[in-house]
Structures are given as structure tokens and as C-alpha cells.
Homo-oligomer: A and B are copies of this chain.
Amino acid sequence: MVNVGVIGYGYWGPNLVRNFMEVPGSTVAAVSDLREPRLAEVARRYPTIRTTRNADDLFNDASIDAIVIATPVFSHFDLAMKALQAGKHVLLEKPLTSTSDQAKQLIDEAARRKLVLMVDHTFVYTGAVRKIQELVSSGELGDIYYYDSVRVNLGLFQHDVSVIWDLAVHDLAIMDHLLDAKPCAVAATGISHLPGQPENVAYITLFFEARQIAHIHVNWLAPVKVRQTLIGGSQKMIVYDDLEPSEKIKVYDKGVNMTRRSEDVYEMLVSYRSGDMWAPRLDATEGLRAEAAHFLECIASGEAPLTDGHAGLRIVRLLEAAEKSLKARGQIVEL
């Protein structure tokens, strides 16, 4: 039985507590949060969990094996470093850290101490993304031509980070997991519509060495909620709509063939292939449940998690580059 301490009981913390309470092999021993009313909420729902306003109580508690951190990103590094130094395994809410330098320090510290360092890229553990990963890696889509994702809704505005760090992080994490190739450059544009606030709309283009492109559109000020990703391959194409209740993934046997009739490009014949559509049945397990179980397995086996510190670092680097480009009105940033 792994004893888990959770730091931060805001928007996401309750989901983490619920899952580590319910997944076999772990229990939540203690929760810390700076806000008394949040701790009262914990006590009301889970009378067996200890609560504290001081995260140090968790680090100092020898009975606690692992620390799960769901606080604002600026506090991730300090809390995670203390947790590692106290000998605890660490699961951090996305994004891993505020800077890639911090991420590297955490990776080193965890490696030195042989502790598990994992980042909560939740979507990677959903049935939908696991199925897409299967289809991509099996070669069924052919060469991946593009990855295009839209993640927009109304709220929740954040004051300390732009919409890139809040929403695009999900798409970058999914993309990083699905594509073998890694981006070589980033260009991002966007705007803030509320004075003094970070950007609430952003568009990110990711360039690759090969004939591949990715684009992410994130927006906190959209009238409707959209969670749609198009993945275009040379053989097949996927539409992944995370808001669909059951058919989240649709695989289209569609594409384009080019036949060279002569040297003249005007003589190239482009023909369209349009076949069946197929929506595979997906494992409906909550992503966070599978993720919690994976964290426990990695603690037991010592193996690196699917979303380890290196994955977290890759995403932080992309976020840093996108943010830099955003400030320079789309100026390309090489990686």
C-alpha cells in the first residue's frame, strides 16, 4: 500500500485524491492546502485523511511514500525538490515546471535518488489517446502529415500564465506522445483581450524536419467548448473529438494520390480516395485512474513512467519556445 500525500486541493486536486483513494494499492494519507475552507472540504468528504496548511508536514511524514502536487506551476519546483529530497516519489500536475532548467534539476535529483518523477499529462492515459497511439505506431495512418488541434472554451482565465501554459500544454503532451518526430522550431501568435492579463488566445505552429506540421489553437474566450484534433496521414486520417460521449475517435480511410503524367506539374493528376469510416471501441477507464495505477506500478518496478521527467521537460521547452515566439509576434524560435 503506497501512502500518498497530496499538495493542493483546488480545481484538480479533488480528482487526484479521489483516484488515489479508489485505485487499488494506494491510499491518501494527508492533504495540504493553504486555504482552510478547502481543507474543511477534504475533511467532510474523507474523514480519514489528515489535513494541514503546511506542506512540510507531508515531507516530514515518514509514512508517506509519494507526493502528488497540484498547485500553481510557479510553486512546482520548490515543492517537488523538497519532496524528492525527503525521499518521496513525485507526481506533478502539468506542466512539470515553469522553466526547463528547473525540470532538468528535478530529473537529476530524482535519478540520483532513484525516485519516480512523473508529470500528469492526463490525456496520454485515456482510452482515446492510447488507441490513437496504437493506430499511429502500427503504421495504419501511413506517414503523419499534420497534427491539428483546437482546445477552446469560456474560462478559466488564469492570472499568472498565458493560455499556452494552461491549455496548449495538453495538446503538446498528446502530440509529443503520438509523434516519433520532435519539432525543430516553433512560431506562436496570440493576444490578450483583458488589460494587464496574459494572452487568452494563441495559435502555435510547430515545424519538423520532415514534411510534417503541427498547429494548436487555444482560447479561453470562446462561446463554445471545442476539443477537436485532426491527424492527417498519407493512408488514413483521424478526427479525435474528446467531447463525443462514445465515438471519440473516427478513422477515415481517405486520402489523396498523385500520379505523374509528365514532367509538367500541371500534368500531375491528383486523385482522391474516400473509403469507410471506422470508430473503434475505446477503453472507458478514466485517464487519471489509469495514470494513478501507472504511477504505482512505476514505484513498484522502478521503471520510468510513460510521462517521465524527460517528457515533462520536452513539453516545458516547447512552452518556453512558444511563449518567446508569442511575445515576438510569431518570430520563429528554433529548438
Contact = CB atoms under 8 A, between A and B. Distances in A.
Interface string A272-296: 1011111111000000000000000
Copies in the complex: 4
B193 A145 contact: yes
A224 B197 contact: no
Contacts of A37: none
Interface in A45-70: 47-48
Contacts of A312: none
B237 A223 contact: yes
A154 B215 CA distance: 18
Interface string A245-285: 10100101111101000000110101010111111110000
A276 B266 contact: no
Nearest to A328: B332
A134 interface: no
B332 A331 contact: yes
Given A187-B330, A277-B279, A329-B207, A270 B155 contact: yes
The 10 closest A-B pairs by CB, nearest first: A223-B252, A223-B237, A187-B330, A189-B205, A277-B279, A157-B270, A191-B213, A145-B193, A223-B254, A155-B272
8 contacts: A154-B254, A155-B270, A155-B272, A189-B213, A191-B212, A193-B211, A207-B329, A221-B255
Given A155-B272, A222-B230, 14 more contacts: A146-B201, A146-B221, A148-B219, A189-B205, A189-B215, A191-B211, A193-B211, A193-B232, A203-B215, A205-B330, A223-B254, A225-B245, A276-B278, A276-B281
Interface of A: 47-48, 145-146, 148, 150, 152, 154-155, 157, 159-160, 185, 187, 189-194, 196-197, 201, 203, 205, 207, 211-213, 215, 217, 219, 221-225, 230, 232, 234, 237-239, 243, 245, 247, 250, 252-256, 258, 265-266, 268, 270, 272, 274-281, 329-332
